[in-house]
């Protein structure tokens, strides 16, 4: 279960609960600021449109419980809306344009830089944001000099023994994985009796894949009748709890590691030359 504004994430690590002076006085040499970027978009008949934003907040709430109190890991208010134009026209979907989302994240990054921070993590819970965030992360690096990280908890590959092979390949939206997670973190927001299964039919192609090396551009109406891709009927809260436990174990370690990362140490210096 996940309770908003309770626990260490919100009581001890929520940056805007501090005063300006307190933020100013924080030790920022080894500090990480986390910005969750989610989405509000249709997730089939059984999941709330808040699903991606909800998973972001819940996962961070759970992960930040696992970090020692003296680590400098700070949480920003989330950007709940994402780039969801693949779902536009499905009621409840509220999308930012690529330009708007780019600008919002860049403005937040510039402000953090002016507050004295050095590291920003873009914590993404919506597949449709991924390409844009890859672009924005580098633009922030160039524009502000911040060290920028970019990740998605659903890409940590923790569910291979929990879901089917078909789900691993095609279960990208509202399927077993995502439904299990929401059943674990906010069970009363899932309409279990309306769960269904639908997989896009691309297995017949040898080289073309949905999200692999050779892709095609799609919107939800191209690939799904129900609005989902995956098998939500197999979802259970127990699976969701295992997924969250594994994901947050990794995240707790990752956040501390990132808070101490120094990009200047990456370049080793003179390249080895071919001997003459």
For Zn ion, the closer CB: 117 or 153: 153
Q: Which residues, in sequence order, are bridge partners of residue 197?
A: 231
Q: At its nearest, how many Å lie between Zn ion and the CB of residue 154?
A: 8
Closer of 117 and 177 to Zn ion (Cβ): 177
Q: Phi and psi for 230 in degrees, rounded to 5? A: 145, -175
CA distances from 272 to 264, 275, 276 (A): 19, 9, 12
In the complex, residue closest to Zn ion by CB: 52
Under DSSP, the state recorded for 19 is -
The DSSP-derived string for 219-264 is -HHHH-SSS-BEEGGG--HHHHHHHHHHHHHHHHHHHHHHHT--GG
Least CB distance to Zn ion at residue 173 (A)? 6
Task: Tell me if 176 contacts Zn ion by CB under 5 A.
Answer: no
What span, in angstroms and rounded, lies between the C-alpha atoms of 202 and 87?
20
**Stretch touching Zn ion by CB under 5 A, among 50-58, 82-90, 202-210, 231-239:** 50-58
Q: Of 36, 50, 52, 129, which lies in the binding site for Zn ion, with binding defined by CB under 5 A? A: 52
Task: Considering only the stretches 51-59, 129-137, 138-146, 249-257, report the one whose residues sit in contact with Zn ion under the rule CB under 5 A.
Answer: 51-59
Binding span for Zn ion by CB under 5 A among 14-22, 27-35, 47-55, 163-171: 47-55
Q: For Zn ion, which is the closer residue by CB, 75 or 128?
A: 128
Residues in the chain: 276
Give me the residues that bind Zn ion (CB under 5 A), please.
Answer: 51-52
């Amino acid at each position: 279960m996940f309770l908003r504004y309770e626990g260490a994430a919100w009581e001890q690590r929520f940056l805007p609960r501090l005063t300006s002076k307190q933020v100013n006085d924080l030790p920022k040499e080894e500090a990480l600021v986390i910005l969750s970027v989610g989405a509000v978009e249709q997730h089939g008949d059984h999941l709330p449109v808040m699903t991606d934003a909800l998973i972001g907040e819940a996962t961070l709430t759970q992960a930040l419980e696992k970090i020692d109190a003296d680590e400098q890991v700070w949480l920003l208010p989330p950007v709940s809306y994402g780039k969801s134009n693949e779902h536009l026209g499905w009621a409840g979907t509220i999308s930012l344009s690529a330009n708007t989302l780019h600008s919002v994240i860049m403005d937040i990054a510039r402000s953090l830089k002016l507050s004295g921070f050095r590291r920003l993590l873009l914590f993404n819970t919506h597949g449709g944001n991924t390409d844009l965030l890859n672009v924005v992360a580098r633009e922030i690096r160039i524009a502000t000099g911040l060290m920028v990280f970019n990740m998605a908890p659903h890409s940590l590959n923790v569910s291979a023994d929990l879901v089917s092979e078909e789900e691993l390949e095609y279960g990208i939206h509202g399927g077993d994985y995502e439904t299990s997670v929401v059943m674990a973190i906010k069970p009363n927001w899932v309409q279990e009796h309306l769960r269904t299964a639908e997989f896009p039919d691309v297995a017949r192609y040898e080289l073309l894949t949905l999200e692999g090396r050779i892709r095609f551009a799609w919107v939800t109406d191209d690939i799904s009748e129900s609005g989902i891709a995956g098998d939500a009927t197999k979802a259970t809260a127990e699976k969701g709890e295992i997924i969250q436990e594994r994901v947050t174990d990794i995240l707790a370690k990752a956040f501390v590691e990132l808070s101490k990362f120094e990009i200047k140490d990456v370049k080793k210096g003179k390249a080895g030359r071919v001997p003459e």
